[in-house]
Structure formats: structure tokens, C-alpha cells
Amino acid sequence: MKNSQDKKQKDLSINISDSTNKFLTTNQGIRVNDDNNTLKAGERGPSLLEDFILREKITHFDHERIPERVVHARGSGAHGFFEVTNPIPELTKAGFLQEVGLTTPVFTRFSTVAGSRGSTDLARDVRGFSVKFYTQEGIYDFVGNNIPVFFIQDASKFPDLVHAVKPEQHNEIPQASSAHDTFWDFISLMPESMHMIMWLMSDRAIPRSYRMMEGFGVHTFRLINEAGESTFVKFHWKPKLGTHAVAWDEAQKISGKNPDFHREDLYEAIEMGNFPEWELGVQIIPAEDEEKYEFDLLDPTKIVPEELVPVTIVGRMVLNKNPDNFFSETEQIAFHPGHVVPGIDFSNDPLLQGRLFSYTDTQLTRLGGPNFHEIPINRSIAPVHNNQRDGFMRQEINKGRVNYHPNSLGGGCPYQAQISEGGFTSFPERIEAHKVRERSKSFSDHFGQAKLFFNSQTPEEKSHIVKALRFELGKVDTTAIRLRMLGLLAQVDTELAQKVAIGLGATVPTNLEFPVNKGVSPENEGGDQEPKTV
Ligand code: HEM
């Protein structure tokens, strides 16, 4: 296993620099004899513009910061490897899943969603769980979360969700520290979020350690085998250390004393040789079972219960090396759910489909142009050849005369592989449909799985959910928002709603009028902001 990880480490080593016992120089390689004083006209005189050493040092410093990720800004990561324990060639032709013992280098980044780069690790929040696989066939990115469902069903609501959860725009005060109105306003108008809200108010949203979290692909994906047959899958990471949380009271104290608690925990465990480990599993859903369930496989607010489809373990991941440089690696890594290898393909989940656009688009700004695939941490270990050229910060020096296809001149232009030589082919799913802007009716049960999750909790865990909701909604100033939330909670569990209501000094409304956006409720044909009774 070490050998394959070495391949990426060797690739990174080209860019690693160690300045111990080396001459101090400028970026142009000129040795610097005095790094303490600017060039001046006389000992006590003004500084001279001519001082290129000072100018270069200050200019570089002035530009050290880049934009933080628009979401998942706060994170920590590590290198490691993935090893196949139970190959699934009958389901996928992905090369890295073919043989027992086959290993692939990985870099994994864990994150919170809402906070900024310097925010606390122990916030009540979803955790990101992203794994970059440097496979022989190119990069495969798993970009998941530690909660198996999501707030919304359609990508068009993602900017609204994130605007609602981020600090309010007028005062930039994070919702964790003051009023929670905007987040709960949005949620109270989006019944589809209720399953996710149950998870978010549970102990799952305050993990004890990154090493003790599950990871989920959330969406249904497709696996494609050599014969071109497709199977639906849900991806799962299961931590060897088990899934553990802290209590909310502990989370708040830890946030005060050590906001870097998870970052330190991951770093120190790896430094001490306690390498964290996860198993990768798949829930396998045959293509013919696509419409077998009462929920829709394309709806990202639903799980496929493990009682219906058990998880089959296919491999394990071990994180065994901390980054040499946080910025160069953890900060500059660019994940994308659209980075797939032959044998893995997408489903038509409308949230996933939107994500396929978003990641490269944001990274073009965050990482300064179209060449961020050349940054060492993002570089594929599979060879990269194409006719893309130029752009800010281009590193590659493309030889030859020709950078277009077709051509008759040759020299510099790669050729297209025959199918027998490998390559990505999209699954030729047959689509015959009208172009519509509509939510599928099969997405309309917003409470069934929220109930299922709540009922799966122990009495102690249920009481944590009640307390979390009392705490969160207790910080909502607007009465109408609290009442709408109580109305929605009553659809999940009446006792839950009543217990929360007692904590808020309120009564659960029985017949609640509230505006629901057209997209949320398929039967509401009347246009935006129609009053709707739940
Ligand atoms: C990060 C968009 C839904 C998991 C990001 C970033 C964007 C984004 C713009 C920042 C990327 C960067 O700067 O490199 C979206 C959109 C979504 C969506 C538009 C819905 C339409 C989801 C879902 C999941 C998820 C459902 C989980 C399954 C993540 C993770 C990261 C991330 C883990 C952090 C990656 C890292 O560690 O760098 N998302 N996201 N996102 N997203 Fe999403």
C-alpha cells in the first residue's frame, strides 16, 4: 500500500522546498544580505522606491490571502491511502475498485459548512467529508457529508439556504452567537428540510472528533460495469473508532477553550501514529428497483434504510500523513462531485445536477483562473494531455505546433483513445420527457423519514433533540417563525413539538397558515407566496 501512496508523495515532492541552511534570496534568486533594514537615503532618511527587496517582500505579503470557500471554509485534512478489501468488478469497471489489496493515494478534508475559516470546530453544523482519490485513471472525488440527507431537494435553493444560514447581511453576526431568525425563517418555509433538521438537531451535528464521524455521498450515484450495465449506489464511510458525539454543553465549553479542537485532534492522532481509519461501503440498488420504494432514489432528503438495503463493505481508508503545508494542500485542494472515473456516473438527482456546475465555477475565482488543476495537491497522477492552453498561472510548457483537433500537421496534439484503450462514457440513459420547471410528485413526503429518524433515537438522544430545538428556536426573535417551526415539528412528532413548545413558553398551533414557495409544494399551483395550511 505504501508504494501507491508514494506515487503521489513523489509527485508532491517536486514542489516541496526546505530552506534550512540555505541562502536567503529574493524570488528572482538574488542573495539577500540584510533582511532587517530598508534602503534609505541616509541612516535617518526616507526609504527609496528603488528598494526591490523591500517591494517584493511587501507585495507578496499583501497578496497572501485568497477568498475562503463560500461554504465549508473551515476545515482540516490529511494524506492517506484507500485499499480494496472486497472488489466489485461485477458492478463497476472503476480500476481502483478491481482487486483485493489494490491501493490508491488519497487526500481527505473534513469541514464545517457555515462558519468562516477561523470559526470554531464544535459548532452545531453538518460536517463535510471529502476524499480525493488519485487513481491511475485520473481523479475521483468523493464530496460528501457526515449526515446522509440534505436540506433541500433542488440546486436552485442552495444559494437561498446558504444566505439564510450565514451571518445576517446587515450586521455579519454569526447565527451561533446571536439571533437565529434568518436560518429558521427559511427552514420554517421549507418543509422538505425537516428530515435534515432532525439530524442537525441530533448529536450527529456535534461530533466528538473527525476520526469518529460517518461519511455519506448523500445522492444516489450509478456504478457502471464493463458490460455497460448500471446499478444505483449510495456511498458510506464507517469510522473504525465508531460514531461519537459530545453533549451541547461540552461543545460550547470546548468552543470557548479550544476552537481548534477537531483540527488538533486529527493532527495529533496522525503525528502519534494513531492513524484514523474508515471502511467504504455501498448500498447496491439494482436498476430494476429504481421505482420500488415509497421514496424516490433521486430525492436527496431521503435515505435508503439499511434494513431495506444493507451496506456492503468494499475497502478501507487510512489517513497516515499530515500535510507539510496547510495552505498549499488543505486550503488549495479543489474537490468536485463531477470528478468521476470510468465506472462511476451520476443520477438525475436535481441537487447533484446543480452541484456538477457549481464547484469548478467557484474554484475559478477562489483559486485564480482555469489552471488550478496544476496546483500540486490537485494534480492527477494519471498523465494529463489535451488542447487546453494558456490562462492565468499556466505552469505546463506545451511543446509542438498544434493545439487543435482535427489537424493534419501533428506535433503537440494528443490523440483520442479508442474505447478499448479506456475512457469515460456517460451511461446512455434513455430520456423521453417534456422540459419542465417542476418538482417531482415523488418528492413530496417531507415528514415520513423525519419521523423514522426521530423514532430511531434513544430516549436520551430524543431529549437532546428537544433541548437543541429549544436552544435554537429560543434565539429566534420572531414569534411567527417559532410557531411555524412548531407546526412543522408537530408533523414529525406531536410530543416532540409539545416539549419544544413548553421550553419556548408557546403552544403548538393546530391550523397554521404560512407562505410556501411554489416549488415546495407540487399541488400548490397558485404561484409564489400563496398561503398554505399544513
Ligand atoms: C463545498 C456548492 C451541496 C458537500 C462547496 C463549495 C461550493 C459548494 C461552491 C465550495 C467549493 C470550493 O470552494 O472549493 C454546493 C451546491 C450544492 C451543494 C451548489 C447544492 C446544489 C452539497 C451537498 C454536499 C456538499 C449535498 C454533501 C453531499 C460539500 C463539501 C464541500 C463543499 C464536503 C467542501 C469541500 C472541501 O473540503 O473543499 N459546495 N454544494 N455540498 N460541498 Fe457543496
Question: pLDDT, tens digit, for every residue of 51-76?
Answer: 999 999 999 999 999 999 999 999 99
Q: Take atom 37 of ligand 1 and give the residue whose Cα is closest.
A: 109
Q: Which among 328, 273, 379, 358 is positioned nearest to 77, based on CA atoms?
A: 328
Q: Where does the pLDDT of residue 328 fall: very low under 50, low under 70, confident under 90, or very high at 90 and above?
A: very high
Q: Which of 127, 145, 301, 355 to mutate to test the pocket of ligand 1 (most atoms within 8 A of CB)?
A: 355
Query: Binding site membership: which residues?
Result: 69, 109, 158, 355, 359, 366
Residue 363 burial (10 A CB sphere; 0-12, 13-18, 19+): buried
State the distance from the centre of ligand 1 to the C-alpha of 152, rounded, in angstroms. 13
Question: Does the beta carbon of 110 sit less than 6 angstroms from any atom of ligand 1?
Answer: no
Q: Which residues are registered as beta bridge partners of 311?
A: 283
* pLDDT tops 50 at residue 521: no
Kindly write down the DSSP assignment for every residue of 279-347, as one continuous string.
Answer: EEEEEEEEGGGTT-SSS-TT-TT----TTTSPEEEEEEEEEEE--S-TIIIIIT----TT---TTEEE-
Determine the pLDDT at residue 512: 66
Confidence of residue 515 (pLDDT cuts 50, 70, 90): low
353 Cβ below 6 A of ligand 1: no
Determine if ligand 1 sits within 6 Å of the CB of residue 218: yes
Does residue 334 have its Cβ closer than 6 Å to ligand 1? yes
Helix (H) or strand (E) holding 159: helix 158-165
Ligand 1 atom closest to residue 70's alpha carbon, by position in its atom list: 10
- 67-92 per-residue burial string, b: 16 or more CB within 10 A, e: under 16: ebbebbbbbbbbbbbbbbeebbeebb
Rg (CA), the chain: 26
pLDDT of residue 368: 96
483 lines ligand 1 (CB under 6 A): no
* pLDDT exceeds cutoff 90 at 278: yes
At 510 the pLDDT is 84
Nearest to 75 by CA among 21, 7, 129: 129
Q: Work out the average pLDDT over 246-271.
A: 98
Going by the annotation, the residues of the binding site for heme are: 69, 109, 158, 355, 359, 366
Q: Would you put residue 72 in left (φ > 0), alpha (ψ -120 to 50) or beta?
A: left
Q: Tell me what pLDDT residue 262 has.
A: 98
pLDDT number for residue 176: 67
Average pLDDT over residues 429-453: 97
For residues 183 and 519, give the distance between their C-alpha atoms in angstroms, rounded to a whole number: 19
Task: Report which ligand 1 atom has the smallest distance to the Cα of 366.
Answer: 13
Does ligand 1 come within 6 angstroms of the Cβ of 351?
yes
**Chain mean pLDDT for the chain:** 94
d(CA 505, CA 476): 13
Please give the distance, rounded to the nearest whole angstrom, from the Cα atom of residue 347 to the centre of ligand 1. Answer: 17
Does ligand 1 lie within 6 Å of residue 403's CB atom? no
Task: State how far the alpha carbon of 240 is from the alpha carbons of 131, 211, 223, 278, 280, in Å.
Answer: 17, 8, 25, 5, 11
Residue with cell 430494476: 288
Give pLDDT, residue 4: 79
Ligand 1 centroid to Cα of residue 327, in Å, is 19
Residue of 176 and 321 predicted with greater confidence: 321
pLDDT tens-place string over residues 459-508: 999 999 999 999 999 999 999 999 999 999 999 999 999 999 999 999 99
Nearest alpha carbon, ligand 1 atom 4:
144
Reading the block at residue 364, the C-alpha cell is: 475559478
Dump strand ranges (E) for 230-289: 230-239, 277-286
Task: Report percent pLDDT > 90 for the chain.
Answer: 90
Handedness of CA 245, 74, 83, 5 (dihedral sign): negative
Residue 3 pLDDT grade (very low, low, confident, very high; cuts 50, 70, 90) = low
**Ligand 1: nearest atom to the Cα of 218:** 28
| Gap from CA of 339 to ligand 1 centroid (Å) | 13
Cβ(358) – ligand 1 distance below 6 Å: yes
Burial-class residue 213 by CB neighbours within 10 Å (0-12, 13-18, 19+).
Answer: buried
Cα torsion angle, 317, 118, 376, 358, sign = positive
Does the beta carbon of 234 sit less than 6 angstroms from any atom of ligand 1?
Answer: no
Percent of the chain with pLDDT over 70: 95
Task: Please tell me the predicted confidence (pLDDT) of residue 151.
Answer: 98
Distance 336 CA to ligand 1 centre (A): 8
Which residues are known to be catalytic?
72, 145
Ligand 1 atom nearest to 361, measured from its CA = 9
Q: What whole-number distance in Å separates Cα of residue 48 and Cα of residue 93?
A: 64
